[in-house]
Amino acid sequence: MNKSINNFPVKRLEQLHEKKHGKLIKNYFMNYEILRYESIESTMKTVNENIKNREFLNQIVVANFQTLGHGRFNRKWYSKKDKDLLASIPIITNKKTSVHMPIILSLSIFETISELISPGSELKIKWPNDILLNSKKISGMITENIVEEKDVYINFGVGINVNSNFDDLSGKGFLATSLKIEESKYFNIEEIIYLLLIKISKNLNFNKKIFFNWKRNLYFPKKEIFLNNNNIDKYHVDGVDDFGNLIVSFKEKKFTLSSDEISFQD
């Protein structure tokens, strides 16, 4: 059985980092606590169980290492021990806000990383929610939802390459980087968690400004795609709708695709 190595309230993070990053907005996460594990199968699995049982809904589960960590489409998430940010955060919201959560959360990761990198670095949100730093993947996320009559229980899983080096990230099949590689220094993972919570708290007050900030930082790796294993008909990528779904066109007809229907995995 997995045992946490320590747990502490998010308020302690605020006390440590508010001078540099400010206070938590609207105190959304103020009653939360961080539950940190040395090793765990998956932070997502633990939070999913908590949501299913409707218990410990204020626990952010963080791991130094995952044995069965995964991202979208059940792709394995690789990370060396004690190097990166690996966390799952339970968030309870209403149905109106829940439809915008992929935008809110991916933008929050983007804004977090943007505060930690040098001016002139190129940071992009690869649709729908990977984060690319200087054309290399630095972060990914996944959300799993349970919808009830009024509330939506969201399990937000996030991985950010923080202190990994070149050898740690080699052999993944795609270009990857970390904050340490790009900035040539070590980073405090708990500080990054706190900064991420600030950004989420801010963006939960979703509006058009937040949406357009997300949209203007989007990157589409392909202008034309194939659908349903059809390698003949090419669909042109036109952009996104107001909910972040992909808009494509074929023979003067437009189609809307969700992130569950297509991937730009290279």
DSSP 218-264: EE-S-SEE--TT-SSPPEEEEEE-TTS-EEEEETTEEEEE-TTT---
Q: Give residue 77's pLDDT.
A: 58
On average, the pLDDT of the chain sits at: 89
Question: Residue 188 is encoded by which pair of tokens?
Answer: 């405090």
Nearest to 91 by CA among 139, 59, 125, 128: 59
**Residue 217, token pair as written in the block:** 């930082």
Continuous H helices in 127-217: 166-169, 179-183, 189-203, 208-216
* Average of per-residue pLDDT across 124-150: 94
Could you give the CA distance from residue 9 to residue 196 in angstroms, rounded to a whole number? 15
**pLDDT, mean of residues 160-177:** 87
Q: Which residue has the higher pLDDT, 96 or 224?
A: 96
Torsion of CA 39, 40, 42, 48, to 10 degrees: -140
Which pLDDT belongs to residue 48?
96
Report pLDDT for 117: 97
pLDDT for the residue numbered 3: 60
Residue range 177-201: mean pLDDT, rounded: 97
Residue 105: pLDDT band (50, 70, 90) is very high
pLDDT value at residue 263: 62
| Cα separation values, 161 from 10, 85, 116, 144, Å | 22, 7, 12, 21
Torsion of CA 104, 105, 107, 108, to 10 degrees: 110
Name the amino acid, one letter, at 128: P
User: Would you call 110 exposed, middle or buried from its count of C-beta atoms within 10 A (0-12, 13-18, 19+)?
Assistant: buried
Distance of alpha carbon 115 from alpha carbon 110, whole angstroms: 9
CATH number assigned to the domain covering 4-218: 3.30.930.10
Alpha-carbon distance of 74 to 177, in angstroms, equals 21
Residue 176 has pLDDT above 50, yes or no: yes
Domain ranges of the chain: 4-218, 221-257
Task: Measure Cα distances from 266 to 49, 126, 220, 263 in Å.
Answer: 32, 11, 11, 9
pLDDT at residue 112 is higher than 80: yes
At residue 9 the predicted structure's pLDDT band, cuts being 50, 70 and 90, is very high
Percentage of the residues of the chain whose pLDDT score is greater than 90: 70
DSSP code string of 33-59: EEEEESSBS-HHHHHHHHHHHT--TTE
Global pTM exceeds 0.75: yes
What pLDDT score does 196 carry? 98
Q: 78: pLDDT confidence band, cut at 50, 70 and 90?
A: low
| Per-residue pLDDT reduced to its tens digit, 193-244 | 999 999 999 999 999 999 999 999 999 988 888 776 667 778 899 999 999 9
**The tokens of 140 are what?**
């990914």
What pLDDT does 228 receive? 66
Is pLDDT at 71 greater than 90 in this prediction?
no
